[in-house]
A and B are shown apart, each in its own frame.
Chain A
Amino acid sequence: MDFQYNNNHNEHGRNDQIVSQFLLKTLHIVLESRVPYIRPNGRRGNLSLGSQVRKSDKWFNLALGERPTALDSLNFWHRNLMEPMIIDIILVQEMPGLGQNGSGYGALVETVIERWVVQYEYSRASQSHQSSESYKKTYKKSIILLRSLYTMMRLLPAYRAYRKLSSKGKACGFDIVYKVSSFSAPVTRSEEQVMKPYSFIPVEAQHGRLSVSVKYRESLSDFNLETSASLPPEIITDYVGSPATDPFRAFPDHKVATSFPVREIPPPQRPHSWSSGGPFMYNQSPPAHHSSSGRYDLSSSPTSYDVYGQRTQNYRPPTHHSFDDSPPFSPSPPTYLSSGGNYMQSRLRSETAPVSIPNPLITTPRYLSPNLSDPNRHSLPPMSPRSTRYEVSSHESPSVIRSLKKSEMSRIGDLSSASGSGSANHYSPSHKISRDNKDDSGRFSGLLSSSGSPRIGFSRSSSRLSLQDELDDIDFSCPFIVDDVDTCDSPVSQSGIGVKQGKKSQDAAVGALVRMLRTAPPLRQDSSCCSDHVESQSNTSGLFMSRKTSDALEELKAYTGIKHLILSKSKDTKQQHLYSL
């Protein structure tokens, strides 16, 4: 009885594993042959025979190469295997003529050229009177289905567009983006009519069947993809950059532009759908992007929002947010709009491999606390005229000095501690380090990306990659040979271990960062809010030359005064309570 139960349980687990890996593999196949920038190394190449194939890539005996990070999000998003996965391949073109703003630039037109629907059609009716071989048969048939899918991707008309985009890049005048969701955004009747359907024969699984189907545009000749862009690419020689970008970074070159952005910003409002912007902005001249990108942003299709109310703060979309996100997504929409395409470039670039992060004292991105933007700003609270502000804000705390210290620390805490001051770092890309505690990792990554050192950045990314490998190994602990007796352990228990190890590497990185920042000379000057040492330290730092001991002493007196005031007030209120009783 137990044996049978275990068998069924194992069978069920295997089936689920196959289904989820099937969805992942399908997504990988579709995207890697439609979106040029999906490959992590940016190249469209064939795997060399000698290269080692990762275990996770061996699924269905089809080695496609390194999986884009975009696909990892699916693990969180697509927990419900019953939901369909709908992949829209969208052609984006700029149509000449007056734009919405009357700016003279063309309007961006997006057309769904392919819609893939991958689904595990669950049906209770197909109960398993089948033998324990069933999941093996499913696996074998899935292998063939995926081969057909891979072949078909190269036979459909959209493949030509993809090849053109891959080879010509910005010069071809269009872009291909994708959108993955669990529901079907409605298309117009005219669009329906031009789309031709094709369905692969479904593969029987334990409790249903795996089906893959597509609707595609038979002819892309209407889009004039053969002609090059109407606007020649322009180079703005005196481009300065937006405040949200790093002005100290070099102007991105084409090579960087075509690499797939590894780290992305999650749209908080869309749990079940994400889309790619790709480096579409590179295809056009920046002035064209200026208004068009903004318009695109605002005129995003409302149907792209999910009807599900589930909040997934941990949600990690694979790509740029520009096209479909609502304004609340970006913390500073005006900034975004003003910089247009170049902003995209530098933002995308900023989210690729770890690069040297500028000295936080010299420049700060907008999303850091504004106090830090001026390095000469005093670390100590302002003079007594402003003391009432602190009084009001901190009247509930038992000690003024403690509250002041706290607020002080919170300003610096953006850099040096993960005390969770909530520095509003929603803007930062949340890295996928572990499968849980994503809030923490999200904030943490925000801290790093804004002000971390290159060393920390590298260690973070390397720890992320190593964890990813671990998780891959756990998920796929043995190559899935159809006719072998599989003895793989359950992935569920092992993934927990991998997560903990990931956490440890996170903590180590946090500790290293804290150590680094604490030992940084300029910051040490800032953190001397306890005025006992002000005298000595104010003489040592060049940044605080204007500060004198007398000023510090005066401020201390102000603090003391406030403290007494508050204490006296609290005594008064206590007495009042006593009298009122």
Chain B
Amino acid sequence: MNCEVCQLKELDVEYFEIGEVLRCILHTIFFHRALGLVRPKDVDLELFEITYVQCGDAELEKKVDEKIDQFIDRVEKHPNKKNQICLSFFEVKNKQATWFTHKVEHLYWEQWYINLNVAQHPKPQSGKSHHSKLVLDPGESASDERNARRATLESSLHEVLFQIIKFVNEKKDHIPPIPNMEGVSFPYEITISSSSDSAFGMDMFKRMLQTGQPTMLS
């Protein structure tokens, strides 16, 4: 079974926008991958005029929030870097237990890369961002600039969601059989990496060969 990879469009976000943006993207992906019975839950973003859908699983919501907190911590520690969250879905294959270890293999069948470019200053009051790609017009007030940037991000986030929809509809054959479960039906893991890591590429390699933890979540 091949592993389908989707690299989502890179987003330029402010520090305080990370949580909302990530929650929106991750839950939208999960909603398309929780193929057991779900009761969809609409959630409105506070910072943007976007409504996304959660699959109504409280456990999942909690885990996603934990991961987002981890990501924000990492961003604080590693500013000036491109940061990436990878959401992977895998199948658990039990290999033959050898005499010294019981091997559990994770076969990844889908990976989503969410690329965020976080503005350098973590303070929300700051209207300027050195890493902002917007051209600063000296005549423009800070609030106008912020609004423009916000509008750009909103439309980019829209595009990312459209991108997710397009991907899930185009590629369906690689999805394994749906187990008889409610809510999130496939085991998954969320990993965080930054561009400066020497293991940035190694992370991907590691995941391919991972024979480690039998737990489904990292």
Contact = CB atoms under 8 A, between A and B. Distances in A.
Contacts, number: 88
Contacts of B35: 61, 140, 143-144, 147, 482
Contacts of A49: 39, 56, 58
B165 A63 contact: no
Given A147-B32, A483-B178, A484-B180, A46 B37 contact: no
Contacts of A160: 49
B53 interface: yes
B168 interface: yes
A151 B37 contact: no
Contacts of A64: 40
A62 B55 CA distance: 9
Interface range, B side: 20 to 34
Between A141, A143, A154, A481, the greatest number of chain B beta carbons within 10 A of the residue's beta carbon is seen for A154
- Chain B binding site: helix, strand, loop or mixed by DSSP? mixed
Given A62-B38, A151-B32, A155-B161, 8 more contacts: A47-B56, A61-B37, A62-B37, A145-B169, A147-B31, A148-B165, A479-B37, A482-B178
A53 interface: yes
B153 to A, nearest CB: 15
Contacts of B56: 46-47, 49
B164 to A, nearest CB: 8
A145 B168 CA distance: 8
Interface string A126-161: 000000000000001101110110111011000110
Contact of A61 (B38, B49, B58, B172): B38
B175 A155 contact: no
- Max chain B Cβ within 10 angstroms of own Cβ: one of A51, A148, A160: A148
Contacts of B165: 148, 151-152
Among B32, B165, B168: residue with most chain A CB under 10 A = B165
A53 B169 contact: no
13 contacts: A46-B56, A47-B39, A53-B37, A53-B39, A63-B38, A63-B39, A64-B40, A140-B172, A143-B35, A147-B35, A148-B165, A152-B165, A154-B42
B51 interface: yes
A223 interface: no
B206 interface: no
A92 B85 CA distance: 44
10 shortest interchain CB distances as A-B pairs: A47-B39, A201-B169, A154-B51, A46-B41, A483-B177, A63-B39, A61-B37, A148-B165, A482-B178, A147-B32
A150 to B, nearest CB: 6
Contacts of A148: 32, 165, 168-169
A563 interface: no
